[in-house]
Structure formats: structure tokens, C-alpha cells
């Protein structure tokens, strides 16, 4: 039976994502009503700059006092699309204190304080949904939390940041400079308010922490995720990758150890073969491989950033939370029962691509090879190009623990015949 009293929604934030949420709520109002079984009403919009013109938003709904909006007594659901830690965290807990379920797109906050927020939602008997926090429009959180809840996920690898994929794609395909590509990604609404979060890998690391927690039913915090950004990736790296039949992507890789007793979570640029499906993920698209014991390999692909795609994920959560509210139920909360430790990066087994500048004289190659051997690292290929008594050497290793690989690089740097280590990059996806 259709309920006539509307479910009232407080929209906290009305920027790139929030303005699209408001637009879709208005234009699809009848469909949303039919799908939920009750009308949903935009009852208030909290922003920072009240005088800004906001197309399609009734100015009477706009306030700068988000707390008062949540406390006024008639709000059923809050959508938090402000971003950052504060005031978002306090507003979400205020919502729970006032019987209001929450939909959020805030990966930074969930990666930092997810456990406390989930606990607060559970104590209050309310929902905390966050599909939009990971990989924009792509349904990933719900499939992993619900559809794969009966399987065992062993590995997740993907591109989870649209801005950096956009930049790397432009650098690779058009030779665009880093800053030019970043400016374009920012203008298109993909980048975070502070794009350092994107380019230094913090945004991808936050998403990695959230996905690892869901995949392995354990608690993984932002600080547990090994992180390297992509600001050091150069045109020379792309040229070197091309010679190997590879391209470069910023990857998030989450793995359960072979003995099942620990997990690892990391974000860093990596070379991947052009034949790998992730190599063809262009612009701000995201793609995530999930490897589960029974299901096998699943790939999720779609727009990873931008106002409308992210609003699609927010609206999906809004419908789910509204349905739960009408059924007087809540959706699944946090599942962290395995309590698996997160191992350090040194334990990860991977491959390195290392570019060295060395003296071009007898015995240098043998000296370099000995350095790898002493650290237990086996060499896969070596390419050397000499010029004027100097040579550039590109070494690609077989798989070895990251600690052994970084120990090798440290030792190489100390050799008199090694003038410099110009680039180190992991090789994945083979
Ligand atoms: P914007 O910076 O475009 O929007 C932020 C909004 O929050 C603005 O409307 C701003 O008001 C409002 N705001 C800021 N401070 C306050 C405050 N103290 N009280 C009330 N309102 C406030 O961010 P986005 O829309 O891009 O991102 C929002 C969230 O969605 C973030 O968590 C982000 O990580 C996440 N996200 C973003 C995606 C994207 O592609 N952009 C994709 C996936 C997730 P005003 O308009 O007045 O400045
Ligand atoms: N800044 C983020 C990105 C937004 O570029 O992926 C989507 O989470």
C-alpha cells in the first residue's frame, strides 16, 4: 500500500554530487515514489554559501545550519555529501542521535572512522549506506556486502580513483602534461576539494580500506593501507612501459595471504600489460576485479567520479534506506568478525621494473646482478643502452617479497658504478 506521508530528506552539501542528487530527486520524484512505496521530499539543503544560485533548488530550503536542520524533528534520512572529516562526522552522529538514517559518499570519513560510525548506527537501530564512497556509479559495495556474502573473497584489484586514471590516461594517450590533465579533471568535477587526496593516493587508499574491510570481513583503516601517489610518474616511465608492452595505472590491490591468516592492502602506480583488461580503462572510469573462491573472477566497470554518476549511487542507497524504514528494518551493518591482521608492505610479493644509470664498463652488469642475487631476487629481463661511457639499464625482476626488492634498490644506490636509480615501479597483472 502506498503511504501518502512523505519521507523527509535532509541534503547536507549541494556541490558537484549534492546538486545532482537534488536534481534527480526532483525530476524522478514519481518513479522514486512508486519504487519506494511513499513519496520522498527534499526537506532542507545545508550548504556553506547560502547566497550561491542553485538551479532547481527552492531557496527557502537552503540553510547554513545543518545541525538545526537535523534537530528540527521531521527528518527521516540525511544524505551527507559535504566531504572531509568535520563537520561531516559530527553531523552524521547528530543524525543518528535524532533517529535519522544516513547515506554518505564520504570515503575519507568512512576509512578513518567507519567502525565508530557503524557502531553508532547499530546502537541507534539505523542505516548507514555508502555505495557512492567507492568507485562512483559502480555498484560494488552492495554486491560485495550482500551478493557475495556467502562466498570467500581472496583478492580485489582495481582502479578506484577517476582523477588519477584521467591524468594517467591523458599523459599516455595524448602526451598531456600532468598539471594540464589535473586541471581538466578538476573542471569536470572529478577531483576532491583538495586534489592532493587524489594524486597522492589518499582517496584510493580510503576506498581500498573500505573495500578490504568488506571483502575480508575485518577492520582495515586508512593507516593500514600502503600508499604511493602518482605525481612521480613521468613521460620516461610511460616510454619504458610501452617498450615492455605495458601501460601505467594507479592500482588498489587487496589480498588475503595464502594461509588465510592475514591480509594486505596497498595503493601505488604499477605497470600492467596492455592485454590486461585494466589497461583499457580510460578517462575517469574505474574498474575493479574481485576474485572469490566460488564465483571466480568478477569485473565491475563504470564511471568512477562525477556529479551524476555518483548521484546515481546515492539515490540507489536512498531508495534502499527508505524501503528499510517503511519495513521498520535495517540493512546489513559492519561485518568485522574475522579480525585479520594487516601485514606490512614488505610481505607483499610483487615484481619490480627498475631503471638505473650506470657506468658502461666491464663488470658493472655482473655487479648489479650480484646485488639482486644477494637479496634473493631473481632477474627476469635486462635491457641495456650505452652512450658516452654511461649506460641506462632496465631490470625487470621475477616475483619476490617487496622487502627484498626495496633492499636490493637500497644496495644498488650504494654501488659506485650506479650513478642513479631513475625509476622504480611495480609490475602487476600478469
Ligand atoms: P563539493 O566540494 O562540490 O561540495 C561540497 C558541498 O558541501 C558544497 O555544497 C558546500 O557548500 C557544502 N559544505 C561545505 N562545508 C559545509 C558545511 N560546513 N556545512 C554545510 N555544507 C557545507 O564536493 P563533491 O560534491 O565533489 O563531493 C562531496 C562528497 O562526495 C565528498 O565526500 C566526496 O569525496 C564524495 N564523492 C565525490 C565524487 C565526485 O566525483 N565529485 C565521487 C564520489 C564521491 P557550498 O556549495 O556553499 O560551497
Ligand atoms: N575524486 C574522486 C575520484 C571522486 O577522482 O575518483 C570519486 O570518488
Q: Which of 16, 64, 306 to mutate for ligand 1's pocket (most ligand atoms within 8 Å of CB)?
A: 16
What is the per-residue pLDDT across 179-199, written as a single tens digit (0 to 9) for each? Answer: 999 999 999 999 999 999 999
Ligand 2 centroid from CA 351, angstroms: 28
The CB of 342 under 6 Å from ligand 1? The reply is no
The CB of 106 under 6 Å from ligand 1? The reply is yes
The residue to which cell 644506490 is assigned: 413
Going residue by residue through the chain (430 aa), what tens digit of pLDDT does each one get? 688 899 999 999 999 999 999 999 999 999 999 999 999 999 999 999 999 999 999 999 999 999 999 999 999 999 999 999 999 999 999 999 999 999 999 999 999 999 999 999 999 999 999 999 999 999 999 999 999 999 999 999 999 999 999 999 999 999 999 999 999 999 999 999 999 999 999 999 999 999 999 999 999 999 999 999 999 999 989 998 998 899 999 999 999 999 999 999 999 999 999 999 999 999 999 999 999 999 999 999 999 999 999 999 999 999 999 999 999 999 999 999 999 999 999 999 999 999 999 999 999 999 999 999 999 999 999 999 887 888 999 999 999 999 999 999 999 999 999 999 988 999 999 7
Bridge partners, residue 301, by sequence: 287
Ligand 1 centroid from CA 19, angstroms: 9
Q: Where in the chain is the domain with CATH 3.40.50.720?
A: 7-134+308-326
pLDDT (0 to 100) of residue 3 = 81
Binding pocket residue ranges, ligand 2, CB within 6 Å: 136, 161-163, 190-192, 198, 203, 304-305
Question: Percentage of the chain with pLDDT > 90?
Answer: 94
pLDDT (0 to 100) of residue 330 = 98
Q: Where in the chain is the domain with CATH 3.30.360.10?
A: 141-305
Class of the CATH-defined domain 141-305 = alpha beta
Nearest listed ligand to the Cα of residue 159 = 2
Ligand 2 centroid from CA 228, angstroms: 16
Give the ligand 2 atom nearest the CA of 198.
1
pLDDT (0 to 100) of residue 44 = 98
Distance CA 307, CA 190 (A): 8
Give the ligand 1 atom nearest the CA of 83.
32
Architecture label for domain 7-134+308-326: 3-Layer(aba) Sandwich (3.40)
* pTM: predicted TM-score of the whole model, two decimal places: 0.96
CB 269 within 8 A of CB 250: yes
Ligand 2 centroid from CA 395, angstroms: 33
What is the per-residue pLDDT across 300-315, written as a single tens digit (0 to 9) for each? Answer: 999 999 999 999 999 9
pLDDT (0 to 100) of residue 263 = 98
* CB environment 191-209: b (16+ within 10 A), e (fewer): bbeebebbbbbbbbbbbbb
Who's near 1: CB < 8 A, 6+ residues apart?
37
Q: Where in the chain is the domain with CATH 3.30.70.260?
A: 348-427
Question: Percentage of the chain with pLDDT > 70?
Answer: 100
The CB of 300 under 6 Å from ligand 1? The reply is no
User: Is 348-427 CATH 3.30.70.260?
Assistant: yes
CB 40 within 8 A of CB 7: yes
Nearest listed ligand to the Cα of residue 201 = 2
Ligand 2 centroid from CA 209, angstroms: 15
Amino acid at each position: 500500500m502506498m503511504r501518502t506521508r512523505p519521507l523527509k530528506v535532509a541534503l547536507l552539501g549541494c556541490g558537484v554530487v549534492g546538486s545532482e542528487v537534488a536534481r534527480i530527486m526532483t525530476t524522478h520524484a514519481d518513479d522514486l515514489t512508486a519504487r519506494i512505496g511513499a513519496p520522498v521530499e527534499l526537506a532542507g539543503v545545508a550548504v556553506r554559501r547560502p547566497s550561491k544560485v542553485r538551479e532547481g533548488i527552492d531557496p527557502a530550503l537552503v540553510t547554513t545550519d545543518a545541525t538545526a536542520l537535523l534537530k528540527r524533528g521531521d527528518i527521516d534520512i540525511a544524505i551527507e555529501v559535504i566531504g572531509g572529516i568535520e563537520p561531516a562526522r559530527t553531523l552524521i552522529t547528530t543524525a543518528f542521535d535524532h533517529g535519522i538514517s544516513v547515506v554518505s559518499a564520504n570515503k575519507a570519513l568512512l576509512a578513518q572512522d567507519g567502525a565508530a560510525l557503524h557502531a553508532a548506527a547499530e546502537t541507534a537501530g539505523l542505516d548507514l549506506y555508502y555505495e557512492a564512497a567507492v568507485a562512483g556509479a559502480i555498484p560494488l559495495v552492495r554486491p560485495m556486502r550482500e551478493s557475495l556474502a556467502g562466498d570467500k573473497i581472496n583478492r580485489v584489484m582495481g582502479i578506484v580513483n577517476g582523477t588519477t586514471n584521467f591524468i594517467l590516461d591523458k599523459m599516455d594517450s595524448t602526451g598531456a602534461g600532468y598539471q594540464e590533465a589535473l586541471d581538466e579533471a578538476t573542471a569536470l568535477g572529478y577531483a576532491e576539494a583538495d586534489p592532493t587526496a587524489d594524486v597522492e593516493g589518499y582517496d584510493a587508499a580510503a576506498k581500498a580500506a573500505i573495500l578490504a574491510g568488506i571483502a575480508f570481513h575485518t577492520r582495515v583503516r586508512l593507516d593500514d593501507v600502503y600508499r604511493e601517489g602518482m605525481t612521480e610518474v613521468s613521460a620516461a616511465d610511460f616510454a619504458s612501459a610501452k617498450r615492455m608492452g605495458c601501460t601505467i595505472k594507479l592500482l588498489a590491490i587487496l589480498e588475503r595471504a595464502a594461509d588465510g591468516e592475514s591480509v594486505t592492502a596497498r595503493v601505488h602506480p604499477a605497470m600492467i600489460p596492455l592485454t590486461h583488461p585494466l589497461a583499457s580503462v580510460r578517462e575517469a572510469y574505474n574498474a575493479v576485479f574481485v576474485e572469490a573462491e566460488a564465483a571466480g573472477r568478477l569485473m565491475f566497470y563504470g564511471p568512477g567520479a562525477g556529479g551524476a554518476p555518483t548521484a546515481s549511487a546515492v539515490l540507489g542507497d536512498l531508495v534502499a534506506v527508505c524501503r528499510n524504514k517503511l519495513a521498520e528494518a535495517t540493512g546489513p551493518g559492519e561485518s568485522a568478525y574475522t579480525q585479520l591482521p594487516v601485514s606490512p608492505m614488505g610481505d607483499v610479493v610483487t615484481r619490480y621494473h627498475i631503471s638505473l644509470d650506470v657506468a658502461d664498463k666491464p663488470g658493472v652488469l655482473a655487479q648489479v646482478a650480484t646485488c639482486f642475487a644477494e637479496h634473493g631476487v631473481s632477474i627476469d629481463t635486462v635491457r641495456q643502452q650505452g652512450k658516452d661511457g654511461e649506460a641506462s639499464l632496465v631490470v625487470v625482476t621475477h616475483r619476490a617479497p617487496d622487502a627484498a626488492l626495496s633492499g636490493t634498490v637500497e644496495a644498488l644506490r650504494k654501488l659506485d658504478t650506479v650513478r642513479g636509480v631513475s625509476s622504480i615501479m611495480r609490475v602487476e597483472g600478469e
